[in-house]
Every structure is written in C-alpha cells, then in structure tokens.
C-alpha cells in the first residue's frame, strides 16, 4: 500500500505540473508584462522537451531501475521548479520549464513500470486505479490553487509548493526495495539498443495496436476538451457566467475520479481489461454527441461531461495498468516512456485539430464528430489486442 501511495504522489506531480500553468499563466503574464507570444513559449517549453526526453529515457530506465530515476527526477524537478519561481523574465521561465521537461519524464516514464515491479499482478489493476485518481484530483487542485493562490498571494507560491512535494517524493522513494530480479535490462545503452526497442514496440502484435489506440484516445480527448470551456463560455452556456462553467467542469472531473477509483472493480468482471476499454471508448463517442444539442442547459452539460470524464479516466487507469503485461519486465520502462510520448503527440495534434474544427463550426458539432471518430478508432484497435485473449 505504501508503494501505491508513493506512486500516487508521483502521478499527482506529473499532472499538477502540466495543469497548474493554465491557472498561473494569467498572473505570470501580468506580473512580468509578457506578450502573447512569450506566454505561448512558456506553455510550449515543457511539452516539447518532455517529448524528446520520454523517447530517450526508456532504455536507460530499464537498465538502471525505476527507483533511481524517480528519485533523481524528483530531486531535479524540485530544483528546476524553485528556479522557475525565482525567475524574473520570460526567457528564464522558458528555460526553467524546458529543464523541468527534461527531468519530469524521469518520474512519469517510471510510474507504471514501477507499479508492475512492486505490486503483484492480481492486485495491479486495483493499484493502477488508485494511482490514476491523482489525475482528476491534480486537475481540480491545480485550478483552485492557480486562481485562488495566484490571485490572492503570488503565482510563485504554487510553484514552490509543487517543488516541496517533489522533494518529499525524492525522499519517500528511498523506501522502495531493490529492483526485483529480472526487472532490469542487461542491454548496453547505444544506438542499436534504441533502434531495437523502437522496432520491437512498433512491430509487436500487442504493443503496436496499444500505442496506436492510446494515440487515438489522446487525440480524441484533446479534440473534445481543447475548446470545450471556450465553447461553454461563448455559446454553450453564455448567459450563466464563468462560475457556472467552472462548476460544470468541476462536477465533470469528479466523474473522472469515480472512473479511476472504480476501474479495478469493473475490470474484475472482464477477463480482458482492454476489451472493457474498447466498450468505454465507444460509450464516450456516443455520450459526447449530446453536448452540442444541450447548449443552454448546465445540468445536461454537467451530466454529459461527468460521463465523458468517467470513461476517460476509466480507460486511462485500465490501459496504463494492463499495458505492462504486454512486455517482459526488463522492457517496462521503454513501454511506459513510449506511452507518454505517444500521449504528448496525440495531445498536441488533438489540440491543434480542436482549434481548427472549432473555427469551422462554432456550434461544436465538428469537434464532437472529430473526437468521436478518434474514440471509435481507439476502440477498434483495443478490440484487436483483445482477440488473442479470452473473452468476458
């Protein structure tokens, strides 16, 4: 249980780090008199570097161990976050966020590989469900802290607080036992190793459709979510004010929390959790069709968004929890880092498509249709993985 709690903190840090900048950016922009382009660079610095870092880290994590990289990553992120808080120019914040993008994936690419190392397989789905509850909780906390603390005190307080949590994680991970036998790779770290890992992940009948389905899932999530708050303010609930819009999103994310918590119980009813993910992806594609038609009705929007968030975080918990079964123990870090990189690529593409589709149709019909197609594609790919396993 202690391992699960520590990995929960690690996953909370990963998600809080990304979401906090959404709430803090207006205060950073005001404090430093930033231009829109400078603000954009602050947002882009982390994911651009993190994508490259994720691709590079997999074999290293497999070779030297998940415990080591979580500890080093947490300690280094503590320092880069403190540097961010001490920055007084756009350039320094951009460089600090880029440095965080270098070290934060050391934590992120190790979490679910470590979960598979230290938690027995019968308990792994339940533990993964608990760990992924950190995502919706981090989203809720980051928005409230970003707006309240950033507005009443200073934006630096939130960043320093996250640095303190990173320092705590660096200490807590020392309680992990030594890596289990067979969990570390003996391969030398060279270009041939990276090429072999990339080829094996892309060619395997298990991991290839998993990575593709995870990519489609992340594209669908960001096509739908990218401009959804904007649409609510401008068209969906224009007469209700931002407090109502915030309540709709808050209530919806509570649904995400339930999805993560209940993922393990629901998975027990299926011999193959990825088959449950396929059905959840289809359900999401159906549920979000109600969004454009229920404009002006906050209760309907809240209910539909809660169902969306429930399915989204249910899928996240089951995919990340079950994925480690598809590779041998010494390759779990590579798969974890590949999943993170695929998520970032899908999120970037989905965000761009979200803006483009919203420009085509302000009624949000284009966004919903585009997201639904991505979710259906994800379901088809997940179903392909499950064909080689027993049914329900």
The owner of tokens 């919806």 is: 252
59: its two tokens: 């074999």
What is the distance between the alpha carbons of residues 75 and 77, in angstroms, rounded to a whole number?
A: 6
| Pair 249, 167 in one domain | no
DSSP state of 205: T
The percent helix, strand, coil of the chain (3-state, each to 5) is 85, 0, 15
Q: What is the pLDDT of residues 240-293, one digit of tens each?
A: 766 677 778 778 878 888 887 787 677 667 667 778 888 999 999 999 999 899
| Pair 147, 201 in one domain | no
pLDDT at 5 over 70: yes
The CATH number of whichever domain residue 93 belongs to comes to: 1.20.1250.20
How many domains does the chain divide into?
Answer: 2
pLDDT of residue 392: 38
Q: DSSP for 130-189?
A: HHHTHHHHHHHHHHHIIIIIHHHT-HHHHHHHHHHHHHHHHHHGGGSPPPPTT-S-----
What is the CB neighbour count within 10 angstroms for residue 151? 12
| Pair 369, 261 in one domain | yes
pLDDT at 350 over 80: yes
Contact residues for 95 (Cβ-Cβ < 8 A; gap 6+): 45
pLDDT band at 22 (very low <50, low <70, confident <90, very high): low
Task: Choose the weakest-confidence range: 147-151, 227-231, 254-258, 333-337.
Answer: 147-151
> With contact defined as beta carbons under 8 Å apart, do 284 and 274 qualify?
no
> Has residue 185 been placed in a domain?
no
| Pair 119, 12 in one domain | yes
Contact residues for 272 (Cβ-Cβ < 8 A; gap 6+): 386, 389, 390, 391, 392
Range of the domain at 205: 190-392
> Has residue 351 been placed in a domain?
yes
Domain boundary among 175, 198, 227: 175
């Amino acid at each position: 249980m202690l391992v699960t709690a520590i990995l929960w903190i690690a996953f909370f840090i990963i998600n809080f780090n990304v979401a906090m900048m959404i709430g803090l950016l207006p205060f950073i922009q005001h404090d430093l008199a930033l231009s829109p382009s400078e603000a954009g660079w602050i947002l882009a610095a982390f994911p651009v570097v993190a994508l490259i870092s994720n691709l590079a880290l997999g074999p290293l994590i497999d070779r030297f161990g998940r415990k080591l990289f979580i500890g080093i990553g947490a300690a280094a992120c503590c320092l880069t976050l403190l540097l961010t808080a001490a920055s007084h120019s756009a350039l320094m914040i951009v460089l600090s966020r880029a440095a965080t993008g270098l070290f934060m994936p050391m934590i992120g690419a190790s979490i679910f590989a470590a979960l598979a190392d230290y938690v027995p397989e019968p308990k792994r789905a339940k533990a993964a469900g608990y760990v992924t509850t950190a995502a919706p909780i981090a989203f809720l906390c980051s928005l409230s802290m970003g707006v309240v603390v950033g507005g009443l005190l200073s934006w630096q307080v939130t960043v320093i607080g996250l640095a303190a949590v990173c320092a705590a994680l660096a200490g807590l991970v020392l309680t992990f036992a030594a890596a289990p036998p067979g969990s570390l790779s003996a391969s030398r770290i060279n270009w041939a190793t990276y090429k072999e890992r990339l080829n094996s992940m892309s060619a395997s009948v298990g991991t290839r459709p998993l990575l593709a389905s995870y990519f489609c899932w992340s594209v669908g999530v960001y096509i739908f979510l990218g401009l959804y708050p904007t649409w609510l303010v401008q068209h969906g609930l224009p007469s209700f004010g931002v407090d109502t819009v915030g309540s709709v999103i808050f209530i919806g994310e509570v649904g995400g929390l339930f999805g993560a918590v209940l993922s393990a119980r629901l998975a027990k009813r299926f011999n193959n959790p990825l088959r449950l993910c396929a059905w959840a992806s289809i359900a999401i594609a159906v549920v979000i069709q109600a969004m454009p038609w229920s404009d002006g009705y906050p209760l309907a929007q809240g209910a539909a968004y809660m169902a969306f968030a429930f399915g989204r975080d249910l899928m996240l918990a089951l995919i990340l929890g079950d994925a480690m079964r598809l590779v041998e123990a010494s390759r779990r870090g590579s798969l974890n880092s590949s999943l993170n990189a695929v998520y970032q690529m899908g999120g970037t593409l989905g965000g761009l498509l979200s803006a483009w589709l919203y420009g085509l149709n302000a009624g949000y019909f284009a966004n919903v249709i585009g997201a639904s197609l991505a979710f259906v594609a994800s379901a088809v790919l997940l179903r392909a993985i499950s064909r080689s396993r027993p049914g329900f």
